[in-house]
Amino acid sequence: MATNDQLKALVKSHADGDDPQFYAIAMQVAAKAARAGQSKFAQELRDLVNDLRERTGQRARIAAVVPFTQPKGELGSLLSVSYPEVRLSDLVLTDKVRERLTHVLLEQRQRDALARHGLTPARRVLLTGPPGTGKTSTARVIAGELGLPLFSIRLDTVLSKFMGETAAKLRLVFDALAETRGVYLFDEVDALGGDRTARNDVGEIRRVLNSFLQFLEEDTSESVIIAATNHLNLLDNALFRRFDTVMGLALPDDAAVESVIENRLASFKLYNLSWTRIIPAARGLSHAEIATAAENAAKRTILSNRTRVRTDDVVIALKERPRARRRADGPA
Ligand SMILES: Nc1ncnc2c1ncn2[C@@H]1O[C@H](COP(=O)(O)OP(=O)(O)O)[C@@H](O)[C@H]1O
Ligand SMILES: [Mg+2]
């Protein structure tokens, strides 16, 4: 049932004519009811709100929800919120990953239609891949495309900061996730993979992993949950089963190298760039390193009063970047 505060907030938002706020609170009440086992009432309330939103032609605008979604109190130290405006077209992805991502976005956008048939949209995404290949960016794109706030949780930081109370902190995050629809990114989940045994207590990590799995399992919220990891092999198999889709990001192939550089240098004239020289210089570099190299080449061009970026500028900048070492050594 709605709390007194929620009722007051409902009346106040109505008096203020603040529709998005009004709907957000009603949805909160529905989420609370769902958790209390009143699923029929929760669904009726959600349907009512969705109908109203559609009729007034006013989907809750993200800007109006902003003050509402600032994590308060203790949550503020666990979650950082942002409102990304990145779009799918800003990322260079393989066809397979793009397809999976498009699919998640489509199901999210059509969630009302799915709900009418008792179906829930894909909303748990596991992202794997080396640093700098676009895991965080993909989470930002999902939030940006859906017009939702992005809440990020650094699990490794939470683990080291709240050792012993991590599971309780995770509970808070999952409560928030059920109350406020958003994209929730659990970054660096490898912290739960057990590779920190030297520094942390194995038993504690195991407990945290188990709570994380349990919260994932119990969660019936409307938020999108994303977990990102650099080390695929370290993760507990049980974690995999909890996700609707797994997207494996990898270092860029030749065509992707070209796209990343062209995107970054879009505002420059390119001087007959020789891709046969540039591509080998980019081998082993991540998207992030290549993007930085392209920016450095652009700066070099501007500072030497030229208007065209030359092959040499790009090749030199690429050679300066640190290369990811192959992880042939297994779990660290
Ligand atoms: N697939 C990609 N396509 C285009 N740019 C990328 C891609 N991956 C990374 N970048 C660039 O590198 C930066 C860092 O990437 P990020 O998403 O944080 O990588 P990760 O989380 O995998 O370490 C991004 O802001 C973006 O500029
Ligand atoms: Mg990242």
pLDDT digits (tens, 9 = 90+) for 281-303: 999 999 999 999 999 999 999 99
Tokens standing for 52?
């109203």
Ligand 1 proximity of 46 Cβ (cutoff 6 Å): no
Q: Are strands 80-82 and 150-154 parallel, antiparallel or unpaired?
A: antiparallel
How far apart (Å, rounded) are the C-alpha atoms in residues 309 and 294?
10
- Cα 330 to Cα 332: distance, rounded to the nearest angstrom: 6
Determine the pLDDT at residue 70. Answer: 63
Closest ligand 1 atom to Cα of 133: 8
**Residue whose CB lies within 8 A of the most ligand 1 atoms, among 125, 287, 292, 295, for a mutation test:** 287
Is pTM, for the whole model, over 0.85? Answer: no
What is the C-alpha to C-alpha distance for residues 134 and 107, in angstroms, rounded to an integer?
A: 22
Residue 315 has pLDDT above 90, yes or no: yes
Calculate how far, in angstroms, residue 136's C-alpha sits from the geometric centre of ligand 2. 4
Helix pair 311-320, 287-303: axis angle to 10 deg: 130
Which helix (H) or strand (E) covers residue 187, if one does?
A: strand 183-187
The C-alpha atoms of residue 246 and residue 100 are separated, in whole angstroms, by 8
Write the CB contacts of 92 (distance below 8 Å, at least 6 apart in sequence): 134, 252, 256, 259, 260, 263, 287
User: What's the gap in Å between 156 CA and the centre of ligand 2?
Assistant: 13
Instruction: For residue range 162-198, list pLDDT tens digits in order.
Output: 777 888 888 989 999 999 999 999 988 877 765 544 5
